[in-house]
Amino acid sequence: MKKIKVLFTAAELNPMAKVGGLADVVGALPKALKKLGIDVRIVIPKYGSIDAEKYSLKKIADGIEIPFKHSTEKIGLFETLLPNSQVPVYCIDNYNYLGQGGVYFEANGSSTTLSREAKRFTFFSRACLEIFAPLNWYPDIIHCHDWHVGLVPLLLKIQTKKNPRLQNIKTVISIHNLEYQGRYNAQQIMDLVGIHSDDYPTLSVLHDGDLISLQQAIIISDYISTVSPSYAAEILTPEYGAGLNIDLAKRKNRLIGILNGIDVDRFNPATDRDISATFTAHDTTGKKICKTTLQKTCGFPTNKKIPLLGLVSRLAEQKGLELVAEIADDLTKMGVQLVLLGTGLPSLEALMKKMADNHPKTIHCKIAFDAKFAQQIYAGADMFLMPSKFEPCGLGQMIAMRYGTVPVVRATGGLKDTVIDYNPATNQGTGFVFTGYTSRELLVAIERALSLYQEPKKWHTIVSRIMCEDFSWRSSAEKYQKLYNNIINF
């Protein structure tokens, strides 16, 4: 049987160019697909922040011409392997548009002045289509991830008219967060890549003169995937559709939600070197040591009986931090400890600091991206908070469960798909789930968790149970393999 050939194209890749969860997916899913016999490869920009020596980048092509901005830019092509795998990674080298700085310059960009980010990812999207001939390798499917490469399906359709070798290539767009769409002035974008409004029908779909990169991909791609089944259903509604729900609804027969996985080798409490003691579902003794260490790090009393809550998050409006702030006084009165780790919006960073300043003996916060400290929270906390307004998938709750830390989450997106609300009548469930986006409902869910915590035998049962949940990438990869086969056979 002929191997399926798939090219992942994305702005981020763990560990070479990581900013958020997108990098984790692009760095993990291809490994699982490779094990299933798929010829999967990855292409990202060669950012200035990528350590070429550390990742053994080798130049394999140079002087590839890319028509851009009424002129011609040249790119080089570097190759390496994704660490701990046999998955090829290609880095497109061009200093003018790709090689300066890290992954991102700014937020989602401005439609009034074409941003550096818009130019960067428009150039990258166009350049991706010129690497196949130098590689002597043409994919069956280009799997695009998020708005940064949302123009790839459009540019592919246009280039197919000039290059028949591209005509059999299919496309998938994976939506990791619909809130980020890549909206920019349409005429300026078309000028960059030398196309005209009559080159493809979707170029007439504009919003006040703006072209939305992700919208183009939703309309044009052969299939649309997103990162959990519940989120796939939610984004068809006005509440969660971020203005694109009508476009998604028109293509709902080509929309699928496939839950993300986690790297179970990296997130393994039995082998994790970033935690103070290892442990397993059958012997959780080490988790008690991790809790004591975390309490000491936070300056808390080292009392194993005091419930310790953890929160590790990018500080964005969707994450529900304001709900936690509203019940900070209540948590202190209930005698619990809370540790917070994250970085993001300055207003939310200030809110987090204020919580800690007001409750120095019971709330500790760290404003940083600190992977090692995150592991210590996952391993040492008793409960893990994710009160999100919306959550396409969420990795934190899965990582927490892997470390026996019981999640308290809102029933939305991937949180709804991965956490089963605890039922005291049957002693079944994997966490504590609330529905309404209110601090009161969050507090009630925490109170329910604390009630069970006072029954050590039952608590130990749920801890052992959640550590045995299978959140590996294999199941997700098998679903993507089926999707790829369906696309090729359309």
pLDDT tens for the 490 residues of the chain, in order: 689 999 999 999 999 999 888 999 999 999 999 999 999 999 999 999 999 999 999 999 999 999 999 999 999 999 999 999 999 999 999 999 999 999 998 654 444 458 999 999 999 999 999 999 999 999 999 999 999 999 999 999 999 999 999 999 999 999 999 999 999 999 999 999 999 999 999 999 999 999 999 999 999 999 999 999 999 999 999 999 999 999 999 999 999 999 999 989 889 999 999 999 999 999 999 999 999 999 999 999 999 999 999 999 989 999 999 999 999 999 999 999 999 999 999 999 999 999 999 999 999 999 998 989 999 999 999 999 999 999 999 999 999 999 999 999 999 999 999 999 999 999 999 999 999 999 999 999 999 999 999 999 999 999 999 999 999 999 999 999 999 999 998 7
Question: Looking at the domain assignment, is residue 106 inside a domain?
Answer: yes
Assess if residue 358 is contained within a domain. yes
In this structure, the answer to whether residues 234 and 380 fall within a common structural domain is no
Is residue 271 in a domain? no
Amino acid at 260: N
Co-location of 479 and 446 in the same domain: no
Q: Are residues 206 and 305 in the same domain?
A: no
Residues 311, 247 within the same domain:
no
Greatest CA separation found in the chain?
70
- Does residue 461 sit in the same domain as residue 477? no
Residue 279 lies in a domain: no
Q: Are residues 241 and 362 in the same domain?
A: no
Is position 277 within any domain? no
Q: Are residues 422 and 480 in the same domain?
A: no
C-alpha distances out from residue 158 to 124, 183, 193, 251, 396, Å: 16, 20, 11, 21, 40
Angle between helices 152-160 and 213-220 (to 10 degrees): 60
Residue 105 has a pLDDT of 84
CB 319 within 8 A of CB 341: no
Whether 274 is in a domain gets the answer no
Residue 337 and residue 400 in one domain: yes
Q: Measure the CA–CA gap between 173 and 175, rounded to whole angstroms.
A: 6
Quick one: 307 and 163 in the same domain? no
Q: In this structure, are residues 11 and 149 in contact, taking their beta carbons and an 8 Å threshold? A: yes
Same domain, 27 and 140: yes
Question: Are the beta carbons of 191 and 69 closer than 8 angstroms?
Answer: yes
CA distance linking residue 8 with residue 149, whole number of Å:
10
Residue 453 confidence (pLDDT): 98
Whether 356 and 231 share a structural domain: no
Amino acid found at 379: A
Structural domain boundaries enclosing 304:
285-467
Asked whether residue 273 is domain-assigned, the answer is no
Sheet holding 5-9, edge to edge: 58-68, 71-81, 88-93, 39-45, 5-9, 141-145, 170-175, 223-226, 255-257
- Encode the chain in three state secondary structure: CCCCEEEEECCCECCCECCCHHHHHHHHHHHHHHHCCCEEEEEEECCCCCCCCCCCCEEEEEEEEEEECCEEEEEEEEEEECCCCCCEEEEEECCCCCCCCCCCCCCCCCCCCCCHHHHHHHHHHHHHCCCHHHHCCCCCEEEEECHHHCCHHHHHHHHHCCCHHHCCCEEEEEECCCCCCCEEEHHHHHHHHCCCCCCCHHHHCCECCEEEHHHHHHHHCCEEEECCHHHHHHCCCCCCCCCCHHHHHHCHHHEEECCCCCCCCCCCCCCCCCCCCCCCCCCCHHHHHHHHHHHHHHCCCCCCCCCEEEEEEEECHHHCHHHHHHCHHHHHHCCCEEEEEEEECHHHHHHHHHHHHHCCCCEEEEECCCHHHHHHHHHHCCEEEECCCCCCCCCHHHHHHHCCCEEEEECCHHHHHHCCECECCCCECCEEEECCCCHHHHHHHHHHHHHHHCCHHHHHHHHHHHHCCCCCHHHHHHHHHHHHHHHHCC
Q: Are 445 and 331 in contact (CB under 8 A)?
A: no
pLDDT for 112: 46
For residues 310 and 234, state if they share a domain.
no
Burial 416-437 (b: 16+ CB within 10 A, else e): bbbbebbeeeeeebbbbbbeee
Distance (Å, rounded) from C-alpha 174 to C-alpha 150?
9
The total domain count for the chain is 2
Residue 387 sits in a domain whose CATH number is 3.40.50.2000
The size of the chain, in residues, is 490
Q: Are 147 and 184 in contact (CB under 8 A)?
A: no
Residue 268 lies in a domain: no
